[in-house]
Chains A and B, each alone.
Chain A
């Protein structure tokens, strides 16, 4: 038996109905009428919503500040913020901290996903390893700092290692769960059509597990920030965590507060970036409604 031609060669008489594609963003596309004015008003309202609560909090802060030496007002902290962080400290303290955070986070992601895929794929590996992994996940990562200091010294490798040791667990366990729950009909489809090896990993396993992997990555991000600070508080001569402790010891209270503010802003920025990434990676997931199911 031989193939005599591609299936499309002879145009069929199968005009199988008209093709309607349900719009993914139908709701988003259909803006209410009214044009520019409505859109501007909408934008204004959104900005007001965004700014209202922070503004209220600052107002509250301003109202209660001054009552204590330890609680300087917004103006003082703002001044300290500009003086402290828009200076050499940006290069000497902030950037190295953020760099270590990103390095540790990336390593943890690589390790977590790299180990999670084989463990999730093999029921036997999973059964043996899962209790142990849950145990490690349950150990609060800060208690590992003294131990890691013994093993890796007090320099950058130690700090990165601390971040890795905390971030890897949620990524690993979520990846395992995601790979375990991959759809078996899709797995059969891959087997049938010879989709194996790297293409299977790339087009099926990683994409299929991506909702859970992203959940793990999101949890790991906040853990990473905490560990970045803690690793610098123990034994260090630079970094954000170190600087905040230093200010506290030297009773530079406004500067200390400005460091806390900076950490908050850093966390906020990273989580906004992450949300961007997530929306891009999981567009299909949110679109298909699987996220809501």
Chain B
């Protein structure tokens, strides 16, 4: 479904030359949920934007559903890291969620059902007529998730979508994503800086090195398919995987510091 081959990205600003991604090769099968973790600034957002077709790449190739990505591939939804800025402040929550569905040409009845369903799923049914700026950060983030989910995408790209919510809501939303992923058969690429979350959600966890970025490890998560916040997280295997990913990220950062010549 998602094929990333030898992707390279160099940002060339005025006098600033940043090699964000050196070479990333990664593939995600249809219906798979893959989490991407890595140290801050390693190019996770860059990778996601390249897959979304929002960023011209410097080398390599990205293909979604067998087609080379040159612009946003149809049927792809993104939850941006800057969730607050991704909502239209002049529209209500309902209108924000509904607009993409209108563009898709869905009839009004179907749109209403999808909007109500997705807002309900993120626990914001009561806030449908509020404007985004009347909501807390976590609520705004949930609106962005509801919009992506209502769109019924084939591919869902999420960039640290739960960063601004409290622990309980976060757990609820994690389970929501798992449920929707199973129900809708979406392909999900999920960027996070939370190792626990990556291991809990993913069928695979891809660990990126520090910038200039390569794939450090592509780890299969061999936990039972049915995940549960309490039982899954208390499995011994969960702890092992978590520890493993943690050490990998430590290594990535240490390696990075060595390369820069700092002790």
- Residue ranges of A at the interface with B (Cβ–Cβ < 8 Å): 1-17, 19-24, 183, 185-186, 188-189, 191-196, 199, 203-204, 207-208, 210, 284-285, 287-290
The listed residue (B71, B123, B180) touching A16 by CB distance below 8 A is: B123
Which residues 94-123 of B have a CB within 8 angstroms of A? Answer: 99-100, 102-104, 113-114, 116-118, 120-123
The listed residue (A8, A23, A193) touching B151 by CB distance below 8 A is: A193
Give the docked Cα–Cα distance between A2 and B186 (Å). Answer: 8
Q: Smallest CB–CB gap between A84 and chain B, Å?
A: 45
Q: Smallest CB–CB gap between B181 and chain A, Å?
A: 11
Given contacts A8-B117, A186-B86, A188-B54, 8 further A-B contacts (CB under 8 A): A1-B185, A1-B187, A2-B185, A3-B185, A11-B120, A20-B136, A188-B80, A195-B100
Are A23 and B103 in contact (CB-based, < 8 A)? Answer: no
Are B179 and A192 in contact (CB-based, < 8 A)? Answer: no
Are A189 and B180 in contact (CB-based, < 8 A)? Answer: no
Residue of B nearest to A187 (CB): B54
Are A21 and B134 in contact (CB-based, < 8 A)? Answer: yes
Among the 9-residue stretches B169-177, B217-225, B248-256, the one with 4 or more Cβ atoms under 8 Å from chain A is B169-177
Question: Which A residues are in CB contact (< 8 Å) with B72?
Answer: 191-192, 194
Are A14 and B135 in contact (CB-based, < 8 A)? Answer: no
- Residue ranges of B at the interface with A (Cβ–Cβ < 8 Å): 1, 30-31, 49, 52-54, 71-72, 74, 76-78, 80, 82, 85-86, 88-91, 99-100, 102-104, 113-114, 116-118, 120-127, 130-131, 133-136, 139, 142, 147, 149-152, 154, 166, 168-169, 172-173, 175-176, 179-180, 183-187
Q: Smallest CB–CB gap between B64 and chain A, Å?
A: 13
The listed residue (B85, B134, B175, B179) touching A24 by CB distance below 8 A is: B134
Q: Smallest CB–CB gap between B25 and chain A, Å?
A: 23
The listed residue (A14, A20, A186) touching B121 by CB distance below 8 A is: A14
Are A7 and B118 in contact (CB-based, < 8 A)? Answer: yes
Q: Would you mind naming 7 contact pairs between A and B with Cβ atoms under 8 Å apart?
A: A7-B152, A7-B180, A14-B123, A17-B123, A185-B80, A192-B54, A193-B100
The listed residue (B77, B135, B168) touching A21 by CB distance below 8 A is: B135
Q: Smallest CB–CB gap between B141 and chain A, Å?
A: 11
Q: Smallest CB–CB gap between A193 and chain B, Å?
A: 4
Question: Which B residues are in CB contact (< 8 Å) with A285?
Answer: 89-90
Q: Is the interface of A mostly helix, strand, loop or mixed?
A: loop
Would you list the 10 A-B pairs with minimal beta carbon distance, nearest first?
Answer: A8-B117, A16-B123, A193-B100, A288-B133, A185-B85, A14-B172, A19-B126, A1-B185, A284-B90, A21-B130
Are B131 and A194 in contact (CB-based, < 8 A)? Answer: no
A16-B123, A186-B88, A284-B131 known; A8+B118 contact, CB < 8 A: yes
Give the docked Cα–Cα distance between A8 and B101 (Å). Answer: 15
Give the docked Cα–Cα distance between A201 and B136 (Å). Answer: 28
Question: Which A residues are in CB contact (< 8 Å) with B179?
Answer: 10, 12
Question: Which B residues are in CB contact (< 8 Å) with A183?
Answer: 85
Question: Which B residues are in CB contact (< 8 Å) with A10?
Answer: 179, 183
Q: Smallest CB–CB gap between A145 and chain B, Å?
A: 39
Are B185 and A21 in contact (CB-based, < 8 A)? Answer: no
Residue of B nearest to A281 (CB): B90
The listed residue (A4, A14, A21, A186) touching B175 by CB distance below 8 A is: A14
Are A7 and B85 in contact (CB-based, < 8 A)? Answer: no
Are A191 and B130 in contact (CB-based, < 8 A)? Answer: no
